[in-house]
Chains A and B, each alone.
Chain A
């Protein structure tokens, strides 16, 4: 052991330099936030709770029951039933999302040709009852109303809605335009 190492060992120099760093950070502004009291702003396009867009003119959902979302869903948590088809327009009867099984990949939002199903930026929706997070059509529409209340501005558009690499002019009409929030 050299003299230098001996001095280092005797005076606890490494530990002191470590503690100096700790003290330096101790005096800085904290990076943490006190979560339930103050909330971090989420980025636009955050994949949170599901909602079905309510058209401000008709007050109904935009879904045309094309079944694409149920087809691509990796966790198979979307259940759809419809009447009609084969020439006649389809009428949506049942649209249910089991939020406990959803893995929030956002595939349903991306394939939807009408922007009917969206993932809102709301992320606090745990509850004591299991049924509360089994969203049926009415519940999904209410989720949208709740989202619109917190949203400022006239048209709502999310950059993750459209599929990548496609010119926006080639998209279906329902996909191209921002959603009128009726404000």
Chain B
């Protein structure tokens, strides 16, 4: 009789555990509600929205050029590519073609940003899994890149560098010299990281066979970027819909096979090498000439030859009255995407002809990838959830916008 009672008491039930929003390994303010059976994850529910700043809504009240500094704050690790993605969307809307030098500068700096973003991904991913040395080595190189951004534009992280129809400032010889020094040095640094990780048994046990997703399923979940290419799908916006100078440079798209954490790691490491290759070609072929198109709008969207008088109106009403008076952009809708380090970053702009977007919707890769976390960590241990979060390279600033 007593025996039965004890067994009833020992009946194990599922434990609900909150992981985040203040967990050091969840990359920002991601909150996962885990339902655990012992140490095995039965169910996982991601909760997003802790970093919502309303960037989409804010941009409806600003002129097109003034929206651009806000896109820095989407994916703050690769702010340059966000800026370029936004500028390309507006350029396609307004029918502006940037001059070739601007295109090459953008391509060069996008790839430097991709390297710096992937370095931060590798650093934190390895730190989460337990390899602290890689973290410090990656930050050494990342610091170098941030200093290079400071040389070009005067800011390290939130650069606001490109401009609708070109770029903001020209690159000088010092920067080119520094870039050449970097690309000469960097491939040997990649080998260093791989010495620490590639054959490391602890690393292999933590990454191989974890978070496997098949090719078919990866496409159906809407994954993009290296997360998709780790499953062996050849989809890269730089190849499929080339923007800037990507159709003029040669590079390969690295693909994985198994679609696990290790293959996605290999994909990103190969992308680092391909980025170096693109930078090398950009420096070799850098054309001379202008950096801003003649059709490019001013910062205040002032039409050419128009003198704006504010008078004693309040700023808001002056701005609104002005933008309603002139047709500054073609009416219509447009979707334009770029290959951000995390995946496909898309801008969907609805224009009503004024100087402000009527509606701007962002398709951010991190938001789509956050939805796949439950699928990836189903049936794995609680420690593998960390590996899964690391492998999709989630940035909450972009996810919540």
Q: Which residues of A contact B (CB under 8 A)?
A: 9, 14-15, 17-18, 21-22, 25, 31, 42-43, 45-47, 67-68, 70-74, 85-86, 103-107, 110-111, 119, 159-160, 163-166
Contact = CB atoms under 8 A, between A and B. Distances in A.
B169 A159 contact: yes
A71 B315 contact: yes
Contact of A164 (B65, B70, B170, B312): B170
Given A103-B158, A110-B299, A165 B63 contact: no
Contact of B158 (A71, A104, A159): A104
Interface in B131-189: 133, 137, 140, 143, 147, 150-151, 153-155, 158, 160, 163, 166-170
B153 A160 contact: yes
A164 B155 contact: no
A51 B237 CA distance: 43
Contact of B299 (A18, A72, A160): A72
A71 B315 CA distance: 7
A14 B202 CA distance: 10
B305 interface: no
A28 to B, nearest CB: 10
Contacts of B12: none
Q: Is the interface of A mostly helix, strand, loop or mixed?
A: loop
B200 interface: yes
Contact of B169 (A72, A73, A111, A164): A164
27 contacts: A17-B199, A42-B150, A43-B154, A45-B153, A46-B150, A71-B310, A71-B318, A72-B66, A74-B66, A74-B68, A85-B312, A106-B155, A107-B160, A107-B299, A110-B299, A159-B169, A163-B299, A164-B163, A164-B167, A164-B168, A164-B169, A164-B291, A164-B292, A165-B292, A165-B293, A165-B296, A166-B292
Most A-side CB within 10 Å, residue of B154, B155, B292, B300: B154
B51 interface: no
Contacts of B133: 18, 21-22
Given A43-B150, A45-B154, A85-B312, A74 B290 contact: no
Given A43-B154, A46-B150, A165 B196 contact: no
B150 A164 contact: no
Contact of A72 (B70, B200, B300): B300
A85 B154 contact: no
Given A18-B200, A74-B69, A103-B69, A46 B300 contact: no
A77 to B, nearest CB: 12
A32 to B, nearest CB: 9
B67 interface: yes
B13 interface: no
Most B-side CB within 10 Å, residue of A14, A25, A106: A14
A71 B154 contact: no
B181 to A, nearest CB: 15
B319 interface: yes
B129 to A, nearest CB: 14
B240 interface: no
A73 B66 contact: yes
Contacts of A111: 298-300
Given A47-B154, A160-B153, A165-B292, 7 more contacts: A14-B200, A46-B155, A71-B319, A72-B65, A86-B311, A110-B299, A164-B170
A4 to B, nearest CB: 12
Contacts of A107: 65-66, 69, 160, 299
Given A18-B195, A21-B196, A160 B169 contact: yes
B247 interface: no
A45 B151 CA distance: 8
Given A85-B312, A86-B311, A105 B154 contact: no
The 9 closest A-B pairs by CB, nearest first: A165-B292, A105-B69, A45-B154, A74-B66, A14-B199, A105-B160, A43-B150, A72-B299, A164-B292
A104 B196 CA distance: 39
Nearest to A79: B315
B201 interface: yes
Nearest to A78: B315
Contacts of B68: 74, 105
Contacts of B163: 164
A96 B343 CA distance: 41
Contacts of B147: 43
A133 B293 CA distance: 38
Nearest to B315: A70
Contacts of B201: 9, 14-15
A118 B283 CA distance: 32
B192 interface: yes
A160 B171 CA distance: 12
Given A106-B154, A160-B153, A165-B296, A72 B196 contact: no
Most A-side CB within 10 Å, residue of B65, B68, B169, B299: B299
Contact of B196 (A18, A110, A164): A18
